[in-house]
Structure 1
């Protein structure tokens, strides 16, 4: 009977938290010194995947996520080098840092500043956008799903969807609307380069992925991780892989992101001015496993300022179109290992 009471109590806490529309920023502003139970994760979730006593663990732990320089993209020989570097990173890591990608540092910094300004608006102002209706073009929320049985992450999110439609920008809060719009103009150029490079790395024509609509849909998840009173007990992001085709992540200097590589969690230190690219699940499916979608997570650090990150998800705008392994990649020696998947159905396993 006690367990039922605990469950009922937790459900009341979750309901009250959600109805406050204040997110974890509201808890931080209230000056709490102990984490509520709903945010405490089991110790095993916070540990590394391999044993530190394992010699191989230390070798892998010291590896670094590849950094790829896009400068010289228009030179044919340099382009081949970049393509080969991206192919290797996509196959072995599923993650890589992009530098000299063409987005001005000022545009990136303005976006981060404006996202912080949104999350630090007065509670009653932010509450206008608070919603768990994830079909909306814009909504502010804390954790995609609030369940009694699940530990929650110390993170608030402003989600901006359908950004291939210019009218969608009108729904974005004024404090960050211009900055989001400017940033997305530059993301288009990076997306076009990567679409060509991925296509060529697969031995296909440079326009192949563009013609299939893999990167046509664009959305942003603008995350805010307030200073946490007990960062060692919770997470900023539980381990997961991304659902779509490709994610381009802008992270600030606070750090905390980790990538699972060979069953070891590797730190991804921020590189000023870099974008972090990661292969998502649908890309792994259409490449028949050649490019890897890998798990990643965010650990919270004892910090003196909040962490800001902005994830741009690239995917298809046709949720009913079936995607399976690209036929040109399939052969007797490389039979299909995935069936066809409709992205709309694939997304139903998640709330977002």
Structure 2
């Protein structure tokens, strides 16, 4: 038994050493990919259960997430139908794409290209941004949860906190500075339009979600999923749900994003000019389960061209005066009692930063058992 324990300790030590060496190299997976490796480091290899249901993109899939046209959201004749479509999508899929959202197609392309340009810079330029300071400022790193997860995933990220405390503009990498600042404004406008519709879908005033500061805490992540030489042994990002209110996602044409719907994984094919919206765990809780956050993942990239996605996570900025959050009281009644208990900001943050990304772990902890 003592011998076995020693072997386990040695394995753990090797893993810790590998992870630390990789992190301190500041090369990211883009650097590994560009170096021409033909096999991935051991700590990127996922367990058999995770790898067993990886489904190559665009294979025999007929179902996809809904697409909602926002071109007539200010029309009294069309708005009720759009609200119904969005409510249904948020409840049954947790994901949907929006078109005619008001952002020029040229801006979408410029934003993706700028984030791609950052990731394609030489190591000596990018590495000065490489650090691990989650929750504030500007951070470039591979796997935000690198030291908390059981297996790393094949992606790098540029993270910029846009609100409530935005870094000085000069701190944002020059390669994508103007585009990141502009994209925050565009994506926030789209998010606030969507949140108005989602609020009205619950029978609330359209401005209710804005009053609750649902768009006041924002983090932008520019993900890069470079070519992976062994895409069947790892993932781009493991299956998870987003912890916040909603997420706005812009992606290039390289596939890989999949959403869990029932017992199958749906491919999310980019709609020209479209943006992807998904429900986060907090919105599921606040809506008392009317809206649903769902698992999604990104497959490791088998193509030579990198997959690029630009994500903004929207979170509430101000919690209730008593420091708690939970289902909105106006949505509760004797016929619709709370499904979840109230919880604190410390509980929320501790749950997120205390482990790797996962699926609805906070929701599981606060669900009221009958």
- TM-score normalised over the length of structure 2: 0.88
For residues 311 and 8 of structure 1, the distance between their equivalents in structure 2, rounded to whole angstroms, comes to 34
Map residues 46-195 of structure 1 onto 2, 5 A cutoff. Answer: 46-48=51-53, 62-147=62-147, 150-165=150-165, 167-195=167-195
Does the 8 Å contact 1:236/1:298 carry over to 2?
yes
Does the 8 Å contact 1:68/1:99 carry over to 2?
yes
More displaced stretch, 316-325 vs 182-191: 316-325
Deviations 1:34-56 (A, max 9, x none): 11111111232133399xxxxxx
- Report the counterpart of residue 345 of structure 1 in structure 2: 347
The Cα RMSD (Å) is 2.1
For residues 218 and 168 of structure 2, the distance between their equivalents in structure 1, rounded to whole angstroms, comes to 11
For residues 244 and 163 of structure 2, the distance between their equivalents in structure 1, rounded to whole angstroms, comes to 15
Deviations 1:138-164 (A, max 9, x none): 100111223487111000000000335
Map residues 1-12 of structure 1 onto 2, 5 A cutoff. Answer: 1-12=6-17
- Report the counterpart of residue 27 of structure 1 in structure 2: 32
Distance 1:181 1:284, change over 3 A: same
- Report the counterpart of residue 43 of structure 1 in structure 2: 48
For residues 346 and 254 of structure 2, the distance between their equivalents in structure 1, rounded to whole angstroms, comes to 34
1:335 alignment partner, one of 337, 341, 353: 337
Secondary structure of 2:334's partner? coil
- Report the counterpart of residue 210 of structure 1 in structure 2: 210
Does the 8 Å contact 1:243/1:347 carry over to 2?
no
Q: How many residues align?
A: 344
Deviations 1:65-105 (A, max 9, x none): 00001011111121111111000001101100111111111
Map residues 279-294 of structure 1 onto 2, 5 A cutoff. Answer: 279-294=279-294
Structure 1 runs not aligned, ≥5 long: 51-57
Deviations 1:193-237 (A, max 9, x none): 112111110001111111111222111011001111111111000
Using the TM superposition, give the Cα deviation of residue 319 of structure 1 relative to its aligned residue in structure 2, in angstroms.
5.9
More displaced stretch, 37-46 vs 317-326: 317-326
For residues 253 and 168 of structure 1, the distance between their equivalents in structure 2, rounded to whole angstroms, comes to 32
For residues 169 and 208 of structure 2, the distance between their equivalents in structure 1, rounded to whole angstroms, comes to 29
Deviations 1:241-295 (A, max 9, x none): 0011000011110111111111321111121211100000000001000000111
Using the TM superposition, give the Cα deviation of residue 31 of structure 1 relative to its aligned residue in structure 2, in angstroms.
1.2
For residues 165 and 76 of structure 1, the distance between their equivalents in structure 2, rounded to whole angstroms, comes to 37
- Report the counterpart of residue 21 of structure 2 in structure 1: 16
For residues 342 and 77 of structure 2, the distance between their equivalents in structure 1, rounded to whole angstroms, comes to 36
For residues 204 and 260 of structure 2, the distance between their equivalents in structure 1, rounded to whole angstroms, comes to 29
Structure 2 runs not aligned, ≥5 long: 1-5, 358-370
Q: Which runs of 4+ in 1 moved over 4 A?
A: 164-168
Deviations 1:292-322 (A, max 9, x none): 0111101124212000001110112236742
Does the 8 Å contact 1:258/1:266 carry over to 2?
yes
More displaced stretch, 279-288 vs 71-80: 71-80
Distance 1:28 1:197, change over 3 A: same
For residues 251 and 342 of structure 1, the distance between their equivalents in structure 2, rounded to whole angstroms, comes to 33
| 2:303 corresponds to 1:298 | no
